[in-house]
Amino acid sequence: MGAIKNNPRSILLAWSGIIVLGFGAFVYSKDLVSNERRAEEIRRIKRERRMLAYRDYKAQEDDDDIRKEQGNQEGSQ
């Protein structure tokens, strides 16, 4: 420990290491947050697409039912 106290270069290296590790941890945590946001955005987009596709499918199915009923009514008249 005495060598670190008396050597300014060692003190500079130690503080540099602490700063680099702190900055690296900060960048890593920001990257994790942005990855989570990106994943959530992708999940939201997929959910919306699924809902739209189901809504379109349901509307088409309802239209088909209406056409069948109209066809049956016209055929029976």
Q: What does the mean pLDDT of the chain come to?
A: 82
Q: Mean pLDDT across the stretch 37-52?
A: 92
Q: Mean pLDDT across the stretch 36-62?
A: 86
Q: Report pTM.
A: 0.48
- 16: pLDDT confidence band, cut at 50, 70 and 90? very high
Domain ranges of the chain: 2-76
Percentage of the chain with pLDDT > 90?
A: 30
Please enumerate in sequence order all residues whose Cβ is within 8 A of that of 5, keeping only pairs 6 or more positions apart, or say none.
11
Instruction: Indicate whether 42 pLDDT > 70.
Output: yes
Q: Which residue is it, tokens 């959530």?
A: 40
Q: Mean pLDDT across the stretch 31-51?
A: 91
CA–CA separation, 13 and 3 (whole Å): 13
